[in-house]
Amino acid sequence: MRHGNNVAKLSLKTAQRKALLKGLACSFVIKGKIKTTLARAKALRPLVEKLITRSKVNSLTSRRLLLSELSNEKAVKNLLEKVGPQMAERKGGYTRIVKLNNRKGDDAPMALIELV
């Protein structure tokens, strides 16, 4: 039974979904905010929250774990040197999702996900 399994599938296969979320997470960490669809923003939030929590402690273990998740040295460096210390006092809730107007072409609901 699927009780409690609330993974947003995004109409993608598992490998494609993981690759999409990894790319979104890297872009989000580097830029600080990105504009994407509402479903993708909601799927990205838990991943990014866990990465930011891990980046609060700047250690070799944290760096290696973040590199295994993101595979982007620039994003990991940004997490450990800027975002982690900036969010050190917060217990959680590092991101904010703001709903935007629907996309013109296919009327998809858009959202802006940003650091608080």
Is 2 part of a structural domain of the chain?
Answer: no
Is 28 part of a structural domain of the chain?
Answer: no
| 48-95 pLDDT tens trace | 999 999 999 999 999 999 999 999 999 999 999 999 999 999 999 999
pLDDT for 99 equals 98
Q: Determine the Cα–Cα distance for residues 91 and 102; give it in Å rounded to an integer.
A: 32
| Residue range of the domain that includes 83 | 35-115
Split into its structural domains, the chain has a count of 1
Q: How far is CA 22 from CA 3, 70, 80, in A?
A: 26, 6, 17
Is 77 part of a structural domain of the chain?
Answer: yes
Which uninterrupted H or E stretch holds 36?
Answer: strand 33-37
Examine the pLDDT at 109 and tell me if it is beyond 90.
yes
Identity at 67, one-letter amino acid code = L
pLDDT for 6 equals 83
| 3-61 pLDDT tens trace | 988 888 999 999 999 999 999 999 999 999 999 999 999 999 999 999 999 999 999 99
